[in-house]
Amino acid sequence: MRNAMTAYRLIILLSLCIGAFPSVAQQPLSLSDAIQIGLENSYQIRIAETNREIAGNSNDWAVAGRYPTINLTLNNQNGYRNINNPISFIPELYSFSTGFTPGANASLTLFDGYRVRFNKERLEQEALQSEQQIALAVETTIQQVINAYYQALVQQEQVDVLQEVLELSRDRIAYQQAQQEFGQAGSFDFLQTQDAYLNDSTNYLLQKNNLDVALRNLKQAMGVDDPTLAFRLTDALDVPAARYELGGLRQKMLAANKQLQDAFITRELAQTNRDITQANRYPRIALNSTANYDWSVSSGQGTTSNGEVREIQALASKTLNVGLTFSVNYTLFDWGVRNINEQNARLQEVNTQYQIEDLKRQLNTQLENTYATYLNQQQLVAVNEQLLANADRNIEIAEERFRGGLINSFDYRTIQVAYLNAAFARLNAIFNLKQTETELLRITGGLVR
């Protein structure tokens, strides 16, 4: 009897502890809000946006080489001369000189086999590819947030189910306690009820921890670093009502899949690189101009044949040179390097087409598998909905029969566990269906801002 009273006190204490979880101010959070926060905080999106800015800055005719280049130069020359010539009037002479030569030169390419135009096309394609990388980062972030949000919802729903089961077990204990006081229930049945309650309490506490982990994972997917910030999920874990048709999904995939669009841009880049290598077949014609101004000063000292020392006065000289030239450069022979480069560029272009075809094949298989899984999971959800409805009705009947003494605690517990399993199976089926639908949207390019 003492052990029974001790166990009963433990149950009362456990009930108080379970109902005394710290209350933290929680912010309401819908799925759309979670996605928006995730998009704002994603570092991968920020990196992609920075790369887009870099590509946008580079997408300029000046970078492509269309405009002339102008360079300024400044040279300083310093010299010392020591002359010893016996037959000269001044057989021994030394002098110092210094000078400055500022100058400018400009070069303008008039023709280079349309390389400038192809370079500009390549820069535009790289800018488009950077936009596509942002779209891929957005798609990944949205999918991660959706899956994390629904995972947290499932964990919350499972907590609610376990709490419901726990309350049923608590009611059974109270009922068994009253029956035992009137001598209508034995210690064995009471101990079985206590074990059921303690097991349900353990499962409830473990599930609370699973919920906390899921919420932290959601915060990570959203890019929220504040550990004190708590959220209350407001969306419901409902069954998707959308109906999809495989042919329409395939058309959307070919038109909007982000990976496929990125592969198309890669193919265009390969075509442009091939054009650039073919531009080496043409001569390069350039216009060059130069302007130099030379200013120098020389002074020194010399000794005549009579031994007389004479100072040489400082003399300044100035020179202005201006030139305008046309240049034509053409590689006549390079041991086949141009041919090799052109051949490699064409092969790389062929490879990009192969990669597109291979990606289409993979995406078609993924789409068909995901679509078939989606249809199957819709049926699983319907089955589990019916199983849960049956289990709910069974537990109502079992409650009545247990109180009427028509079934024992073992039978009641079996029905209770069946209800718990049916509720969990339904939640998992809905979550799997949500994940599959999200994957369908990703494959068909539907995950956008």
Average pLDDT over residues 227-253: 90
Strand partners, 321: 292
Give the position of tokens 């062929």: 350
What pLDDT is stored for residue 192 in this prediction?
73
Domain co-membership, 188 together with 144: yes
Judge if 255 and 363 occupy the same domain. Answer: yes
Question: What's at 355, amino acid-wise?
Answer: Q
With tokens 């789409």, the residue in question is: 367
| Cβ atoms 222, 142 nearer than 8 A | no
- Indicate whether 121 and 209 sit together in one domain: yes
What does R_g of the chain's alpha carbons equal in angstroms? 42
Partners of 288 in beta bridges: 107, 325
49-97 pLDDT, tens per residue?
A: 999 999 999 999 999 989 999 999 988 888 777 766 565 555 555 667 7
Helix/strand/coil for 295 = strand
In a domain, 174, yes or no: yes
* Phi and psi, residue 20, nearest 5°: -115, 30
Domain presence at residue 19: no
- Confirm whether 49 is domain-assigned: no
* Structural domain span for residue 188: 115-282+336-449
DSSP-derived 3-state class of residue 94: strand
Q: What is the mean pLDDT of the chain?
A: 86
For 328, the 3-state DSSP assignment is strand
One domain for residues 251 and 158: yes
Q: Which CATH number do you get for residue 374? A: 1.20.1600.10
In this structure, what CATH number is given to the domain that contains residue 316?
A: 2.20.200
Residues 226 and 347 in one domain: yes
With respect to residue 29, please indicate whether it lies within any of the assigned structural domains. no
Total number of domains constituting the chain: 2
Higher pLDDT, 210 or 238: 210
Q: Are residues 289 and 143 in the same domain?
A: no
Same domain, 224 and 86: no
pTM (whole model) above 0.75: yes
* Helices and strands: H and E segment counts in the chain: 10, 6
- How many Å apart are CA 412 and CA 404, to the nearest integer? 12
Give yes or no: residues 250 and 371 share one domain. Answer: yes
Residue 416, in any domain of the structure = yes
Q: What is d(CA 176, CA 186) in angstroms, rounded to the nearest whole number?
A: 9
Per-residue pLDDT averaged across 172-183, rounded? 63
Check whether residue 292 and residue 429 sit in a common domain. no
Co-location of 380 and 324 in the same domain: no
Q: In what order do the strands lie in the sheet with 69-84?
A: 69-84, 92-111, 284-303, 309-329
Lowest mean pLDDT among 19-33, 137-151, 202-216: 19-33
Q: Based on the domain organization, do 378 and 261 belong to the same domain?
A: yes
Mark whether 228 and 290 lie in a shared domain: no
Interior/surface letters 237-263, b for 16+ CB within 10 angstroms, e for the rest:
beebeeebeeeebbebbeeebbbbbbb
